[in-house]
Structure 1
């Protein structure tokens, strides 16, 4: 009788084990990560990871390059209370350890330090920007995986649904305005003769595709999704609209007024120059939404023949 009851009890325990929660395991770029419980204190060592955590409603206890995030990424807003743990290329292990994290999120650039990071806390290594990858797909994957780890899967799904809805809304606006007929060149000025032009393998391409816009620059770039070229190279896309992304270097507008490299570009002569606020091109999923709205607003408002 005792043996019979003991067997029944053992069977009941086995049935209940999944309900009380076994450690979950995820594969990542340098191995596997197991979490016995939902992390509460998370450190992010790149801005794409910082963005993802904030989108999930999780405020990291520490981030790398905190000041730079506020300048370049801006949204979602990073609370002032978050601790800076050094730079993205050389974070302080001591500062990270002092925060007593139960999860660290980093990318393959920090892979050599991963072993030391793992001694501090479980470390998830994921790279949005890597040779051969599509940034938006990787950023989406990172958001979903972090949502699983942090018990915020529904929040991740809501974020992605909101982005898809925004893309569709802006696509309809552009189509109704009749401004999807020409390719778009997205550029940042490096100086008054050189630009960083965004290529089809970058994050911005996702926005262009969903808005029904063609990328005027079809040549491949580096795995970050851009190429640095002279203005004369932009002249090879005469039927394009040029969208200039902030920030602008001091004195740029004045210098361009007297630049033959600029003034003779067909988009300049056709008054098809547009300017939009800074949108971080090396982030996660959120810049895709921000760029869609800014780009639609600018194209519908109309262009000019100078960077005003």
Structure 2
């Protein structure tokens, strides 16, 4: 499987191997700025703690990370430019892009020239692998930095990112609609799972990739966004290994999965790029075949195009899949 986030995530997970829960009950407070759309200047404090001032709500926006791009589209703001539009189309189906959206390079190395040529009034990004771009871009256009993930409270963090972007684009009413639909999906899904007698049942979410003959597995721990969705639905994440504090991600191999042997759980994974290491790369692996969830055929490849690091729309797609498995 191709790496679907910046290399820094793998490094962070590996470092942790060597060396909390979110809620949907109370919406996180929005960023500094008006609660209602404005036609005049607005100031928003972004994830850096930096005030970002716009002459008016942004309408020509460039997005450099797919989670924030999905949020923009979900709010009704079609970006004029996106990093790696082809990759976005592969991994994110919840909020499709118009054909008119221009590709501005990769997420790790977006083109400043391509971005500036689009004459945006705002660039939305995360402060990770693209951090070096920020001072270059700020010479030409305001830059709004979203947090992107926080394993201490990833659902609350998602709400905060949505509120911030909605304030910057004058789409606060649309944000409340996104939240209402998301909260309803959680409540309805939790009831269906409980009614099916599946409350408290276990799950594990992972993805994997192959380098040479080595298969690496990335596990989604308690604080990852996907895990928090399952927990909110009344399920239990069976993976308790070490993870990084930002994304809630861990790293292991097939031998590391033996801690799950004998446990009653469903195993979910994503392989939207077609590189399915679980069905193909491990098909003849004796350790893999000995795992209880493999023997019980409780292995679920998620539908292609559900972005694991997305916003409310991708989150609803994951909720639907959990409900389908546990209450279908």
TM-score bucket (shorter structure) = 0.7 to 0.9
Are the counterparts in 1 of residues 267 and 293 from structure 2 also a CA contact under 8 Å? no
- Which 4+ stretches in 1 moved above 6 angstroms? none
Q: By percentage of residues, which structure has more helix?
A: 1
Please list every run of 5 or more consecutive structure 2 residues that lacks an aligned counterpart in the other structure. Answer: 1-37
Query: In 2, Cα distance between the equivalents of 1:219 and 1:137?
Result: 23
Per-residue CA deviations over 1:138-173 (Å, capped at 9, x if unaligned) read 221111122122111110000011011011111111
Q: CA RMSD in A?
A: 2.3
Are the counterparts in 2 of residues 194 and 230 from structure 1 also a CA contact under 8 Å? yes
Residue 257 of structure 2: aligned partner: 234
Post-superposition offset of 1:229: 1.2
DSSP 3-state at the match of 1:190? strand
DSSP 3-state at the match of 2:243? coil
Matched, 1:38 2:61: no
Post-superposition offset of 1:78: 1.2
The aligned runs of 1:1-308 (5 Å cut-off) are 23-28=41-46, 29=48, 31-109=50-128, 110-129=130-149, 133-191=152-210, 194-222=216-244, 223-237=246-260, 238-247=262-271, 249=275, 252-253=278-279, 256-278=282-304, 279-301=306-328
Please list every run of 5 or more consecutive structure 1 residues that lacks an aligned counterpart in the other structure. Answer: 1-19, 302-308
Query: In 2, Cα distance between the equivalents of 1:84 and 1:123?
Result: 18
Compute the TM-score of the two structures, normalised by the length of structure 1.
0.83
Per-residue CA deviations over 1:39-58 (Å, capped at 9, x if unaligned) read 22111111111011001001
- Aligned in 2, Cα 1:91/1:235: closer, same or farther, shift over 3 Å? same
Number of residues paired by the alignment? 282
Judge which range, 260-269 or 207-216, deviates more: 260-269
Residue 13 of structure 1: aligned partner: none
Query: In 2, Cα distance between the equivalents of 1:249 and 1:275?
Result: 11
Which structure has the larger Rg over C-alpha atoms?
Answer: 1
Are the counterparts in 1 of residues 200 and 234 from structure 2 also a CA contact under 8 Å? no
Are the counterparts in 2 of residues 245 and 277 from structure 1 also a CA contact under 8 Å? no
Query: In 1, Cα distance between the equivalents of 2:208 and 2:277?
Result: 12
